[in-house]
Structure 1
């Protein structure tokens, strides 16, 4: 190395010195704001758990990744050909200016509002709004999706494999998100799409390193909605979760004013979208845009939702009022998020603050529950002397690499560690999958 031992020593000493000076200032603030419990009981105890998680890393099937990369390149070449045929000219789909020219000058599609730089936006939202006007918009979205997956994961993951361990060791960060959720980098495993087949194909490339081992994943079922039920105290939501009802079907029946037996798959999808949209403080305009319906219908849907769950309406109203008054919100465990948005007269900024005020206690509490679960599960696995180990944490999901002989024991530990010991008005539930890859 070009760095001398003395230079390295001074650098390390400076880190320790600055940390000690900051401690003397910030420790008092922790106690003043009631954050000492979050730090001592959650964040400090989580450090060794995350250290193990990073050291464990994940094993990837690089041959499968390279095979998928070739398949995706063929798909991209095919899409590029289709784009040229649809537009009647060759252009670079990665160039916003060229895409803008093709869409709004050559094809004369409805132009969106201009960006701050004075150009027409070609963002995903714009392309989605143009999908009904011309098939080129949908093809561009598809092209971007495959290119993003190929460059971010298929071509990058093999290069991140450690030559000594043969595994990829992502970094997990306890700070950096407003809600308290973990984030990750190099690679960002938490951004991997899971809803479509393309994302699932990439997940299947994460496999056990040894023969006779399995990948076991435990995913919280609707944890944010369960936290909402607890925080709001809404009787309908609480009873639905206690009796293990299909919450999305129930909501759909209330939105459309029909019985649950009459709810179609499409209606249930709408119910699901509204359930989660409410947590993020969506407006009638936002819901209308997402569902591609009129603002009036969206307004009626939100009204029907709050009529069905009056406790949620009251909770949202009271939470926003408290946030305005105090300038912050907290999770059930005391994690605090400052909301300076209410100190301005800017309407857009205030509305953003209201959304943060509603969402943070829900998403932040869910994040705290997961962190506590990780600590408990880690303790139980070590107490049992098992060989299985955690390899990933992705928001509501905890993933383990386990010998086949330990699968049942690990599943029992996951159920115990992730669902027991919390005093909530509704039960927590996890869905467990066992496979030869990350399912």
Structure 2
């Protein structure tokens, strides 16, 4: 698949009340058939297995609830999903006080609970995680057509960046455990084609960055290389924990994360987070210049634009309110990067659809297709030819994983996640 940059002289059209280029207008027209095809196709659900999973999660949740009631001597009706109830329990039983938000409400999210490093708060956190998981699995069960054993969803273009989202049922938000009950057609196999380091490759391509390109050209792990250069330690001595820091900084680069957000994620001071961000950015001056140019262009035009001409209007980009202005600045950069990624995924969906592939669904940077068991290797080769395009001379790499069950596509090598 070859992609062409939108010429500045190309006319622009109105699409869904937003002005887009002719390239995007044609893409969205082609996407209508793809969305209808995915919606009509749906995914196979093992209803009995899903029902058993729901029962198992409910049992685990009830065991934790009973343990908490017994150990804390709780009586009456206590809502373990209520921040207020949890705050009262922790204060009266353990002498632990939860912080309050600016609005005066108790903060009892997973991060707040795990910060205490207490067996009770850990159990409460586990209970709430299971409650959310149970709700999601029950939602999948409700959305599944029991006679056909199929679940379908509606694909929407409500996101300003152009990303395709799902609703009724939200397949993109399905938990890992939920994927273990979704299987390929008889005699067929799933292929999950996923872009590698997608948004980081896009920002590297658009900014004509040298640092990341050199990492990929040498076959190095970019996150390990970044930490190696930041800390001045040999590449081969970078630990997995240190690599996670590099990965967090890298994805923060794509999503416009600032020091306060990084400090919360690392549980460190804002000053330390600022030092880490500064050290990380020192190796990528082209990317920082590109981000600033993107913001300045949005400020002068009033909108941000993807590589292919999808526009997002940002009236607050010149707002005197610093919070609103900073948010629009992040949206300008995100539109340029994530919006371009969304466009490329849509180009791939259209090309795969025209090539005759049975597309099951798409998940942000990945596409799930079903192919006959005897055509897996040939199909992977064809998929890569279609999806692995070049952007400003940088190849966008696609990795493909296979499995009879959707969860198999996420399993580590040598381990089947859901034997049938």
TM-score, scaled relative to structure 2 = 0.87
The residue aligned with 1:74 is 59
1:205 to 181, 187, 204: 181
After superposition, where does 1:89-100 map in structure 2 within 5 Å?
89-90=74-75, 91-100=78-87
Once the two structures are TM-superposed, the CA of residue 34 in structure 1 deviates from its matched residue by 6.0
Runs of at least 5 residues in structure 2 that lack an aligned partner in the other structure: 1-11, 410-420
Once the two structures are TM-superposed, the CA of residue 188 in structure 1 deviates from its matched residue by 0.5
Answer yes or no: is 1:45 the counterpart of 2:21: no
Once the two structures are TM-superposed, the CA of residue 231 in structure 1 deviates from its matched residue by 1.5
Number of equivalences: 394
TM-score, scaled relative to structure 1 = 0.84
Cα deviation, 1:309-343, whole Å, max 9, x if unaligned, reads 11122122222222222222111111111122234
The residue aligned with 1:122 is 108
Once the two structures are TM-superposed, the CA of residue 247 in structure 1 deviates from its matched residue by 1.1
Kindly indicate whether the alpha-carbon contact (under 8 Å) linking 2:202 and 2:391 is maintained by their aligned counterparts in 1: no
Cα deviation, 1:126-172, whole Å, max 9, x if unaligned, reads 334x333x33333222222211111222x232332235643111111
Most deviating of 404-413 and 31-40? 31-40
Answer yes or no: is 1:424 the counterpart of 2:395: no
Answer yes or no: is 1:306 the counterpart of 2:264: no
Answer yes or no: is 1:270 the counterpart of 2:270: no
Cα deviation, 1:54-87, whole Å, max 9, x if unaligned, reads 1110001112111211221121022213333554
The residue aligned with 2:402 is 434
Q: What is the alpha-carbon distance in structure 2 between the residues aligned to residue 86 and residue 271 of structure 1? A: 41
Kindly indicate whether the alpha-carbon contact (under 8 Å) linking 2:13 and 2:25 is maintained by their aligned counterparts in 1: no
Once the two structures are TM-superposed, the CA of residue 93 in structure 1 deviates from its matched residue by 0.6
Cα deviation, 1:346-396, whole Å, max 9, x if unaligned, reads 222222222212222111111111000111111122xxxxxx511111111
Runs of at least 5 residues in structure 1 that lack an aligned partner in the other structure: 1-26, 194-198, 382-387
Compared CA separation, residues 171 and 31, structure 1 to 2 (3 A): closer
Kindly indicate whether the alpha-carbon contact (under 8 Å) linking 1:232 and 1:315 is maintained by their aligned counterparts in 2: yes
- Aligned partner of residue 402 in structure 2, secondary structure: strand
Q: What is the alpha-carbon distance in structure 2 between the residues aligned to residue 424 and residue 243 of structure 1? A: 19
Compared CA separation, residues 85 and 298, structure 1 to 2 (3 A): farther
As a proportion of its length, which structure holds more helix?
A: 1
Once the two structures are TM-superposed, the CA of residue 104 in structure 1 deviates from its matched residue by 4.1
Q: Which one has more relative contact order, counting CA pairs under 8 Å at least 6 apart?
A: 2
Compared CA separation, residues 107 and 340, structure 1 to 2 (3 A): farther
Q: What is the alpha-carbon distance in structure 2 between the residues aligned to residue 58 and residue 115 of structure 1? A: 44
Kindly indicate whether the alpha-carbon contact (under 8 Å) linking 2:13 and 2:21 is maintained by their aligned counterparts in 1: no
Once the two structures are TM-superposed, the CA of residue 257 in structure 1 deviates from its matched residue by 2.2
- Aligned partner of residue 65 in structure 1, secondary structure: helix
